[in-house]
Chains A and B, each alone.
Chain A
Amino acid sequence: MLAASVPLFLLVVGLFLLLVYKPQLGRRLSPRTWILAGGLGLPIPILAALTFYAFWQGEYLLRGGSELPADLVRIEATGTRWQWVFRYPEVEGNPSTVGVLHIPAGRTIEVAVESDDVIHSFWVPRLAGKIDAVPGHTNFLRLRADRPGRYGGQCSEYCGVGHAGMDFEVRAHAAEDYLNALGPGEQTP
Chain B
Amino acid sequence: MKPETSAIELHRALEEIWGTKPGLTRLAAVNHNVVGRRFMLTSLIFFAVGGLLAMLIRTQLASSESVFMDAEEYAQVFTMHGSIMMFLFAIPFFEGLAIYLLPKLLGTRDLAFPRLSAYGFWCYLFGGSLLLAALVAGVAPNSGWFMYTPLSSNTYSPGINSDVWLLGVTFVEISALSAAIEIMVTILKLRASGMSLDKMPIFAWYMLVVATMMLIGFPPLILGSVLLEVERAFDLPFFDPTRGGDPLLWQHLFWLFGHPEVYIIFLPAAGAISTILPVFAGAPLAGYRIIIAALVSMAFLSFGLWVHHMYTVGIPHVALSFFSAASALVAIPTAIQIFAWLATISHGKPRFSIPMLHIFGFFFVFVIGGLTGVMLAMVPFDWQAHDTHFVVAHLHYVLVGGFVFPMLAAAYYWLPHISGRQPVQHLSSAAFWMIFVGFNVTFFMMHLTGLRGMPRRVFEYPPESGWETLNFISSAGGFVMTMGFALVALDFILIFRFGRPFHRNPWSAGTLEWAMATPPPSYNFASLPTIDRRADMLDPNAIGPHLAAGNGLLAWPRGGRMELLAIDMVSGAPEHVVRLPRQTFLPLWTAIATGCFFLSLLFKVYWATPVAFVAVIALFLLWCGDTAESKDVGRLPIGNGQELPTHIEADRPPSWWAMVFAITADATAYISLLFGGLFLWISAPNWPPQDAHEIGLSLPALAAVTSTVAAVAGWRAAASLPSSTGLLSLASLTHLATAGIMLWLALTSVPNPHAHAAAATVFVVLCYAALHSLMGAVFAGYGIWRIRSGFVSHARSLDLRIGAMWHGYSALIAITAAGFPFLLSALASEISR
Q: Assess whether B364 is in contact with A61, with CB atoms less than 8 Å apart.
A: no
Instruction: Please give, as numbers and ranges, the residues of chain B lying within 8 Å of A125 by CB-CB distance.
Output: 384, 453
What string of 1s and 0s marks CB contacts (under 8 Å) between B384-421 and chain A?
10111000000000000000000000000000000000
B727 to A: closest C-beta gap in Å: 51
Q: Is the CB of B540 closer than 8 A to any CB of chain A?
A: no
Q: Assess whether A38 is in contact with B457, with CB atoms less than 8 Å apart.
A: no
| Residue from B286, B345, B356 with most neighbouring chain A CB atoms (10 Å) | B345
A139: interface (CB < 8 Å): yes
* B342 with A121: CB separation less than 8 A: no
Contact B381 A23 (CB under 8 A): no
Q: Does A70 interact with chain B (Cβ within 8 Å)? A: no
Interface string of B332-346 (1 = CB under 8 A from A): 110111111011111
Which residue among A9, A29, A135, A158 has the maximum number of chain B CB atoms within 10 Å of its CB? A158
Check if A51 sits within 8 Å of B342, measured CB to CB.
Answer: no
Residues of A within 8 A of B336 (CB): 35, 38-40
- List 11 additional contacts besides A23-B345, A58-B379; criterion CB under 8 Å: A26-B347, A27-B347, A29-B343, A31-B340, A34-B339, A39-B294, A39-B333, A42-B339, A54-B321, A117-B155, A121-B387
Minimum Cβ distance to chain A for residue B273 (Å):
12
How far apart are B252's CB and chain A's nearest CB, in angstroms?
12
A132 touching B313 by the CB < 8 A rule?
Answer: yes
Asked whether B312 lies within 8 Å of A137 as measured between CB atoms, the reply is no
How many contacts between A and B, using CB within 8 angstroms?
A: 225
On A, residues with C-beta under 8 Å from B are 1, 5, 8-9, 12-13, 15-17, 19-21, 23, 25-27, 29-32, 34-35, 37-40, 42-44, 47, 50-51, 54-55, 57-59, 61-62, 81, 117-119, 121, 123, 125, 128-132, 134-137, 139-140, 152, 154-164
Distance between Cα atoms of A15 and B340 in the complex (Å):
12
B342: chain A residues within 8 A (beta carbon): 12, 15-16, 19, 26, 34, 38
B148 contacts A by Cβ under 8 Å: yes
Interface contact A136-B383, CB-CB below 8 Å? no
Looking at B239-247, B262-270, B522-530, B575-583, the stretch in contact with chain A turns out to be B239-247
Residues of B within 8 A of A43 (CB): 331-332, 335
Q: Flag if B371 contacts A5 (CB, 8 Å).
A: yes
Q: Report the separation of the CA atoms of residues A96 and B344 in the bound assembly, to the nearest whole angstrom.
A: 66
Contact (Cβ within 8 A) B150 A158: no
Contact A42 B458 (CB under 8 A): no
Q: Provide the residues of chain B in CB contact with A162, threshold 8 Å.
A: 71
Q: What are 27 A-B contacts defined by CB distance under 8 Å? A: A1-B375, A20-B350, A23-B346, A23-B350, A26-B343, A26-B345, A26-B346, A27-B347, A32-B287, A38-B336, A38-B342, A39-B335, A40-B332, A47-B374, A54-B380, A55-B321, A57-B378, A58-B321, A117-B156, A121-B386, A125-B384, A132-B313, A136-B246, A136-B685, A154-B455, A160-B156, A161-B71
Which residues of A are found within 8 Å of B242, using beta-carbon distances? 136
What size tier do the contact residues of chain B reach? 35 or more
| Docked CA distance A158–B392 (Å) | 14
Q: Are B148 and A19 in contact (CB under 8 A)?
A: no
Interface of B is mostly: helix
Q: Which of B30-38, B166-174, B322-330, B708-716 contacts A (4 or more CB under 8 A)?
A: B322-330
B282 nearest in chain A by CB position:
A23
Q: How far is the CA of A21 from the CA of B480 in the complex (A)?
A: 29
Q: With A51-B328, A129-B384 given, is the CB distance from A137 to B248 under 8 Å?
A: yes
Does B346 lie within 8 Å of A19, measured CB to CB?
Answer: yes
Q: How far is the CB of B147 from chain A (nearest CB, A)?
A: 11
Q: B150 touching A135 by the CB < 8 A rule?
A: yes
Out of B286, B337, B461, B686, name the residue touching A164 (CB < 8 Å).
B461
A129–B312 touching, CB < 8 Å: yes
Chain A's closest residue to B325 (CB) is: A51
- On whether the beta carbons of B456 and A158 are closer than 8 Å, the reply is yes
Q: Would you call B460 an interface residue if the criterion is a C-beta within 8 Å of the partner chain's C-beta atoms? A: yes
- Cβ contact of B346, chosen from A25, A54, A137, cutoff 8 A: A25
Min Cβ gap A67→B in Å is 16
Q: Given the complex, which residues of B lie within 8 Å of A58, measured CB to CB?
A: 317, 320-321, 379-380
Determine if B360 is an interface residue (Cβ-Cβ < 8 Å): yes
B387 adjacent to A35 (CB under 8 Å): no
Partner of B387 from the list A25, A38, A156 (CB cut-off 8 Å) is A156
Docked CA distance A159–B367 (Å): 33
For residue B628, which residues in chain A have a CB less than 8 angstroms away from its CB? none
- List chain A residues, Cβ under 8 A from B314: 131-132, 134, 137, 139-140
With beta carbons under 8 angstroms apart, the residue of A26, A121, A164 that contacts B460 is: A164
